[in-house]
Amino acid sequence: MHIDIISVSPDLLKSPFEHSIIKRAQDKDLVTIELHDLREFGIGNYRQIDDYQFGGGAGMVLMIEPISNCIEKLMQKRNYDEIIYMTPDAKTLTQVTANKLSLAKNLLILTGHYKGVDQRIRDKYITKEISIGDYVLTGGELAAAVLCDAIVRLIPGVLGDETSALTDSFQDNLLSPPVYTRPAEYMGMKVPEVLLSGNFPKIEEWRTEQAYKRTKEIRPDLLND
């Protein structure tokens, strides 16, 4: 998979991709991630990328021309499965969306800033808009990092234990059951007996029960979906 990300602050995005599992995925050539600085496509001597909004109102808007030039240039090189815009005014990211996007070959992610981008960019180029939650960040960079992390870990070969992504929370619309490791007892707190029993069908049954219990308590909305 190849992911291009357009950003006003590409440095903000470097660190999340330089560590741990996402770094290893790149080292193994399972994914390539390329950052593109929107400022390089800015207009005039000051490389302007934003301007006041028509109709008045607080906050600057990212201009159509620099983004359009950047996207057009990238589109000459690649056919994108999706051109995604990170914005709080969109449907919230779910595991189902991450699963679908993990099958893509080429993704382009545009991150917003200030009041967002000129609507005409969204109308002309964007095929999918994603929010990572009902709150507003200072820019879309951290949201893009979250999206990439959620997608990349699902690419076959990225996680060591192939089954571990399948048993994540949300894969079956349930939260994960509790997990324990050694010691079996710590300051009087014991690990549930069933997990030490070696009876794997029983352990599976217990885990499913616990997953339902936890989901009912914390996220009953998932059970209604």
Q: Which residues bind ligand ADE (CB under 6 A)?
A: 86-88, 112, 131-133, 135-137, 140, 143
Rounded to an integer, what distance in angstroms lies between the CA atom of residue 100 and that of residue 1? 13
- Cα 57-63-68 angle, rounded to 5 deg: 150
Provide the minimum distance between the beta carbon of 140 and ligand ADE in the complex, in angstroms, as a whole number: 4
> Closest CB to ligand ADE among 130 and 159?
130
Which residue's CB is nearer to ligand ADE, number 43 or number 136?
Answer: 136
Phi, psi of 115 (to 5 degrees): -85, 0
Q: What is the CA radius of gyration of the chain?
A: 22
Provide, rounded to whole angstroms, the least separation between the CB of residue 132 and ligand ADE. Answer: 4
Q: Specify which residues 186 forms β-bridges with.
A: 189
Q: Which is nearer to ligand ADE, 106 or 131 (CB)?
A: 131
Q: Minimal distance in Å, beta carbon 161 to ligand ADE?
A: 30
DSSP 159: S
Tell me the closest approach of the beta carbon of residue 98 to ligand ADE, in angstroms: 14
CB of 33 or CB of 93, closer to ligand ADE:
93
Residue nearest to ligand ADE (CB): 143
Which two three-digit tokens encode residue 64? 């159509």
Residue of 148, 113, 107, 90 lying closest to 38 (CA atoms): 113
Instruction: Give the residue with the Cβ less far from ligand ADE, 102 or 111.
Output: 111
Is 135 or 200 the residue whose CB approaches ligand ADE more closely?
135
- Helix extents (H) in the chain: 11-14, 20-27, 64-77, 95-101, 119-124, 141-152, 200-218, 220-224
At closest approach, how far in Å is the CB of 5 from ligand ADE? 12
Q: How far is the CB of 8 from ligand ADE (least distance, A)?
A: 12
Which of 40, 148, 173 is CA-nearest to residue 96?
A: 173
